[in-house]
Chains A and B, each alone.
Chain A
Amino acid sequence: GAGVSQSPSNKVTEKGKDVELRCDPISGHTALYWYRQSLGQGLEFLIYFQGNSAPDKSGLPSDRFSAERTGGSVSTLTIQRTQQEDSAVYLCASSRLAGGGWETQYFGPGTRLLVL
């Protein structure tokens, strides 16, 4: 079946602009995660959605970052007033359930964001 898809695959924007990144999880997966990977650095958690529960936003680096998940499926990560340090690959993952760490996460191909 189809995996996790993300769009756009690449995004170049100017400092100060807002960007929206989209994630389509695997159909039927109730948990959805956003991570980012900055150049030369490891992966870091941003936010995750678990069914109808309030999202865990503990990894969002600033209030310029927000995310929503509509209808329990598609998710959008929004970065307002982008800064150069926001340049990174933004990865989305989904899992069948949110099970306290027991579920395999399936990753999308990522969106490469470059802020000029």
Chain B
Amino acid sequence: KNEVEQSPQNLTAQEGEFITINCSYSVGISALHWLQQHPGGGIVSLFMLSSGKKKHGRLIATINIQEKHSSLHITASHPRDSAVYICAVPPYNTDKLIFGTGTRLQVFP
């Protein structure tokens, strides 16, 4: 069993829909990272969180440390949100990231 599980693997949506991507992990962590990888391959860090909720524009990330679960939400999705979203965790007292397999999101106009 992978230490970081994401669901769904693939997601298609119509523009404007509310999107949820889930991440569960089995290792002890201090923080969880959400990353975005665009079709060109570049990876950008979206969020790093250890409790509660963070919001940046139309993106919202939540985490429940006790349940070892995090969600990434996109409100009013847009075709430019089409990308692979990756959940990653650094085990306690390390900085190396263990990655989920990613969720490929396609938003159609």
Which A residues contact B (CB, under 8 angstroms)?
Answer: 31, 33, 35, 41-45, 48, 50, 56, 58-59, 89, 91, 93, 95, 98-107, 109-110
Contacts and interface: CB of A to CB of B under 8 A. Distances in A.
Given A43-B86, A101-B90, A33 B95 contact: yes
Interface in B86-107: 86, 88-102
Contacts of B45: 104-107
Contact of A45 (B30, B42, B97, B101): B97
Given A42-B86, A43-B86, A107-B45, 8 more contacts: A35-B99, A98-B95, A101-B30, A101-B31, A102-B50, A107-B42, A109-B41, A109-B42
B44 interface: yes
Contacts of A56: 94, 96
Contacts of B42: 107, 109
Interface string B28-67: 0111010100000111110010100000000000000000
13 contacts: A35-B97, A42-B86, A42-B100, A42-B101, A59-B96, A91-B43, A93-B43, A100-B94, A100-B95, A101-B92, A104-B48, A105-B95, A109-B42
Contacts of B86: 42-43
Contacts of B44: 107
Nearest to B45: A104
Nearest to B101: A42
B96 A45 contact: yes
A105 B97 contact: yes
Contacts of A101: 29-31, 89-95
Nearest to A9: B41
Nearest to B41: A110
Contacts of A41: 101
Nearest to B32: A101
A50 B101 CA distance: 26
